[in-house]
A and B are shown apart, each in its own frame.
Chain A
Amino acid sequence: MAAAVGAAAPPGALWGLVQDFVMGQQEAPASQVAADVKSGSYTILQVVEALGSSLENPEPRTRARGIQLLSQVLLQCYSLLLEKEVVHLILFYENRLKDHHLVIPSVLQGLRALSMCGSLPPGLAVSVLKAIFQEVHVQSLLQVDRHTVYSIITNFMRSREEGPFVEELFEVTSCYFPIDFTPPPNDPYGVQREDLILSLRAVLASTPRFAEFLLPLLIEKVDSEILSAKLDSLQTLNACCAVYGQKELKDFLPSLWASIRREVFQTASERVEAEGLAALHSLTACLSRSVLRADAEDLLDSFLSNILQDCRHHLCEPDMKLVWPSAKLLQAAAGASARACDHITSNVLPLLLEQFHKHSQSSQRRTILEMLLGFLKLQQKWSYEDKDEGPLSGFKDQLCSVIFMALADPSTQLQLVGIRTLTVLGSQPDLLSSGDLELAVGHLHRLSFLEEDSQSCRVAALEASGALATLYPEAFSNHLLPRLAKELRRGDSDVTREGGPTKCSRHLYCLQALSAVSTHPSIVKETLPLLLQHLGQANKEYMTTASSEVIAICQSLQQIAEKCQQNPESCWYFHQTAVPYLLALAVQASMPEKEPSFLGKVLLEDEVLTTLASVIGTATTHLSPELAAQSVTHIVPLFLDGNTSFLPENSFPSRFQPFQDCSSGQRRLVALLMAFVCSLPRNVEIPQLNQLMQELLKISCQHSCSFSSTAAAKCFAGLLNKLPAGQQLDEFLQLAMDTVEAGLGSGAFCNQAFTLLLWVTKALVLRYHPLSSCLTTRLMGLLSDPELGPAAADGFSLLMSDCTDVLTRAGHADVRIMFRQRFFTDNVPALVQGFHAAPQGVKPNYLKGLSHVLNRLPKPVLLPELPTLLSLLLEALSCPDSVVQLSTLNCLQPLLLEAPQVMSLHVDTLVTKFLNLSSSPSMAVRIAALQCMHALTRLPTPVLLPYKPQVIRALAKPLDDKKRLVRKEAVSARGEWFLLGSPGS
């Protein structure tokens, strides 16, 4: 004996632990014993022996305690049990089921542990269940013990041993279905209705053997009048389909189909409809995947035929209300498997095609085509690689002719569906012939030039062209691009001669079509040169090119650049082709000339340069670091040394020296440099960085136009943000601060210095640089500056918002996710303090700064902080600045909804201020004030009732506001106030 136990704890120790647990009512020994059994110190048999006397004790509580110990040990060690031990233990526990009711819970725990054993000898599960149902009345057990029984059942289910007790098992579980329990408020167990539903569903749907009992129950409950029962039954049916097969469903299919069909046809509840469709989908999927015995019939075909029979005649009545439910049912079934899809599509397509021709009204044709579209979309789910032909190939010609009829129809709605259908049909591989494609492209070309009232159609046609061009680049290159090129040239000659609005818009549409179709690398290689040439042409030939024309071309280029970003080859092609060309045009334009061409001037306008910059930025962000490094060695020397050798046309009348030259034209091009260097990946080394940074600082605080100095400041900030921490960064920062302080002190350049400060602060705030707090404090100090105060207040908006050109995540800037929250936490207390300390005249600056910070903060972060700021916000409502008013109203509105109790303390102030602001001259403020009046109705009714007559009278005025959007808010706010305290609300 001693040898067997080895060096382990002596049995004496075990005996002590057992005594402590059973007699001493301590809990800890149980886990100690379990640990010792696990470590092999002693066997289960020894534990039973040690328990010996307590298991025979005449006092039931002591026996219960003894069994509890054994059960707890088993729950932890069941995996170690040998088959022989399991048999003995089960016999022991079955016998104990006859014991006093106090003992039963522990016995059940033990059986639960044993039910989890992997090595369960055959027949034992049946024997356990038999004993449970014989000795214990499960339904009258405590909830926790019932749960144990269900766990035992579920565990046995997994080992497929329920045998002759299926019906009993079903009875004890199904009596709870459907769950209609509602947890009491403050339920300590936190049991949710949904948890119960899901657990019960897991049991009911755990085995196909329940099918013969469960399916009639589900059908009965679907047919009931209770919405929740319908939903639960349909969802349970859905879950069952995962484990059922054809055999289980066979006898119930007609009833199931009848119930589902009735629910989808008749219900007023979208949820019931959705669950009905989902259940039909699962049923069909289940029938599709069942493995059949050789002699069994395939139920899928007959089931689908039933569905078709009940639904197809509705499809032929496009005015009737059962059209859509029928189509949805058919599509739910067809979406379940390739076979089902084949079966239904091959039946429905000819029918719908015929119906399309039978009906001549556009609205009816639209309904039919929309249904067709639904079936075609389902086709995309299945690939037919293994077959020669997909099921659509037989209908291809008819489908095309129907689509082309729709595209040629005068009804916009029908055209739209036609375009969507064409896109879906085109996505089927190897279906459309080159002839079909030529026709389709022709239609898309025509639709791309529709006039303004068919805007939606034109946009849809452009999208479809883009989608189809990725699949059929040749068709578009052969049949669309030549037409667009011609259109562009014709536009060239017309636009100049006062071509009316029609001509202008045709030209614009042509530009949009060119960018829309540039979705394939081979197409970009044609469209990009075309557009660049068009831009250059405008320079040479015409004297009256409007800036809007140049901007439109640039926007088109911008869209192509965006489309190229995902494809490295196109991306490099675009960059390499467009960037030098655009820079050359700009450099040419910036040259001092005797007779300046008109385009020269246009290209240097703020708005045009901004658009050009945006194209260059977009063409740079997605470059690989290697290629970007190649490009940077050309572009930086161009700006610093005037090295123009890489530009396509580089014979300029004089040198390009944007940093030295006193001509402001050349300096403006720093905006293009900014767009390029601030979009580079962070690890690309920038040549001559030191010199570049110093030059940028110099012109950011020089006497020049604000466009150039701002561009230089932004460029400096953008580069600063990406520099790794270290001496170089510190030196640049020091230099920047010296420049800022010198500028702020000088007077003449204080606006430029302020802009530089703002951008440098932003660059540091975004990356959590330790110096950012210093700079923010400096900025906050300026709020009380009589000159710069208002600008400083607006600066907070810039700090908190996302830029589009520099310091963007897309441009690889270092932007921490939580920077707004952090800025809020770090700076709002100081802003509030500053507000209280500030002289009356500059207080609005603080409020405005604060409201910018609050407004940009995510609402969930803001809400818990707002109550502490409430008094300030209420004060801000009286601030005359409409920006402050608007942002304060935007802050208060969610607060009214989320924290009505706090807000009701201030109801008097709120009602008065909101009503005042509802007649503000600013429309946005009026709307926000009325939305707050609406939100105010969430406050406790008794608080509001004294104000009801006054409010209803006051809100009559905005009902007659000159703006519809204001009237709309007034109507809903006044309507809610009428309902306050009124019966029926």
Chain B
Amino acid sequence: MVGGGGSGGGGGGVGGGLLENANPLIYERSGERPVTAGEEDEQVPDSIDAQSPFLHLTHLIRSINDPEHPLTLEELNVVEQVRVQVSDPESTVAVAFTPTIPHCSMATLIGLSIKVKLLRSLPQRFKMDVHITPGTHASEHAVNKQLADKERVAAALENTHLLEVVNQCLSARS
């Protein structure tokens, strides 16, 4: 019996055949971040943060679709609030993501999607570091190296097939 992920339809679209992790544990989605009075006040600047109750940044990446399942990275617990570090004054972002299984072949792709989402969504002044949560993937080092390499990332996005998958991950889910 194949797990629920396969029959939902509409999800990913990478390769065919059986899913690597057919029946993942599913986590609750956090709601929309509530708007505070300060945010409606024109005078008060809101910093780009990760620490406030519902962070701005996780908010950006949590809704990225998993390439394999019809679920978001948040629902699969691939990204979590505690693993996102932001410093607005220093213009740095660090995101650690946790593949659902240690041999997940999608790890590079997920990392790439997060990286692209950040590139598209954050001001240019930010320096971005996307890496695997230490100790959660077999080829952690190799994946991290690829993700840190600007030229490789740029080259990957020249690849139509890869760009297609990344765009699918970033498209708003209906």
Q: Taking the complex as formed, is A705 at the interface, i.e. its CB lies under 8 A from any CB of chain B?
A: no
Q: How far is the CA of A267 from the CA of B45 in the complex (A)?
A: 43
Q: Are B166 and A984 touching (Cβ within 8 A)?
A: yes
A726 within 8 A of B: no
A985 touches B171 (CB 8 A): yes
* Contact (Cβ within 8 A) A956 B123: yes
Task: Given A225-B7, A268-B8, check contact A971 B167 (CB 8 Å).
Answer: no
| Residue B87 lies at the interface, judged by CB distance under 8 Å to chain A | no
Instruction: Render B1-45 as a binary contact track against A, CB cut-off 8 A, 1 for contact.
Output: 111111111000000000000010110000000010001101001
Q: How many residues of B contact A (CB 8 A)?
A: 42
Task: Tell me, in angstroms, the Cα distance from A444 to B3 when the chains sit together.
Answer: 46
Interface residue B83 (Cβ < 8 Å from any Cβ of A): no
- Contact in complex: B6, A225 (CB < 8 Å): yes
Q: For the complex, is A291 an interface residue (Cβ under 8 Å from B)?
A: no
The distance in angstroms between the C-alpha atoms of A227 and B70, with both chains bound, is 13
Residues of A within 8 Å of B128, CB to CB, are none
Q: A962-B45, A985-B171 are in contact. Are A975 and B165 (CB under 8 A)?
A: no
Within 954-970 of A, Cβ neighbours of B (below 8 Å) are at 956, 959-960, 962-965, 967-968
Across the interface, do B170 and A268 meet the contact criterion of CB distance under 8 Å?
no
**A974 located at the interface, meaning its Cβ lies under 8 Å from any Cβ of chain B in the complex:** yes
A267 B7 Cβ-Cβ under 8 A = yes
Q: Which residues of B contact A965 (CB under 8 A)?
A: 35, 39-40
Cβ-based interface call for A978 (8 A): yes
Tell me the complex Cα distance, A967–B121, Å.
Answer: 9
Minimal Cβ-Cβ distance residue in B for A977: B120
What does the 1/0 interface line of B143-174 toward A look like (CB < 8 Å)? 00000000000000000110111111011000
Total interface residues on A, using CB and 8 Å?
A: 30
Instruction: Collect the chain A residues with CB atoms within 8 Å of residue B40's CB.
Output: 965
Q: How many angstroms from the CA of A965 to the CA of B56 in the assembled complex?
A: 10
| Residue A266, interface by CB 8 Å | yes
- Name the contact of A268 in the complex, choosing from B5, B60, B124 (C-beta under 8 A): B5
CB closest chain-B residue, reference A959: B123
Q: Does A982 contact B (CB under 8 A)?
A: yes
In the complex, what distance in Å separates the CA atom of A655 from the CA atom of B154?
Answer: 86
Task: State whether A266 and B3 are in contact (beta carbons under 8 Å apart), knowing that A960-B123, A960-B125 are contacts in the complex.
Answer: yes
Find out whether the CB atom of B42 lies under 8 angstroms from the CB atom of A922.
yes
CB-based nearest B residue for A955: B120
B90 at the interface (CB under 8 A from A): no
Q: Return chain A residues, CB-CB under 8 Å to B45.
A: 962-963
Closest-by-CB residue of A relative to B52 is A964
B167–A983 contact, CB under 8 A? yes
Contact in complex: B48, A923 (CB < 8 Å):
no
Question: What is the CA–CA distance of A522 and B75 in the complex, to the nearest angstrom?
Answer: 51
CB contacts (< 8 Å) of B56 on chain A: these are 964, 967
B8/A983 in contact, CB under 8 A = no
Judge whether B62 is part of the interface by a CB distance below 8 angstroms: no
A691 interface residue (CB < 8 Å to B):
no
User: A727 interface residue, CB < 8 Å from B?
Assistant: no
Residues of B within 8 A of A968 (CB): 59
Cross-chain contact A227 with B167 (CB below 8 angstroms) = no
Bound Cα distance from A262 to B7, whole angstroms = 13
> Residue on A with the closest CB to B60?
A971
B163 proximity list for chain A (CB < 8 A): 982-984
**B125 — nearest CB in chain A belongs to which residue?**
A960
In whole angstroms, how far apart are the Cα atoms of A979 and B40 in the complex? 30
Closest to A966 in B: B46
Q: Among A230, A321, A984, point to the contact of B26 (Cβ < 8 A).
A: A321
Query: Which 3 pairs, one residue from A and one from B, show the smallest C-beta to C-beta distance?
Result: A984-B164, A984-B167, A960-B123
Residues of chain B touching chain A, judged by Cβ–Cβ distance below 8 Å, are 1-9, 23, 25-26, 35, 39-40, 42, 45-46, 48, 56, 59-60, 69-71, 117, 120-125, 160-161, 163-168, 170-171
A-B residue pairs in contact (CB < 8 Å), sample of 11: A225-B2, A267-B4, A267-B8, A269-B7, A923-B42, A959-B123, A962-B45, A962-B46, A963-B46, A964-B56, A983-B163
- Beyond the given A269-B7, A965-B39, A983-B160, please list 20 additional residue pairs across the A-B interface where CB-CB is below 8 A: A225-B7, A267-B4, A267-B8, A268-B4, A268-B8, A268-B26, A268-B69, A269-B4, A321-B26, A956-B124, A959-B121, A962-B45, A963-B42, A965-B35, A971-B120, A982-B163, A984-B163, A984-B164, A984-B165, A984-B168
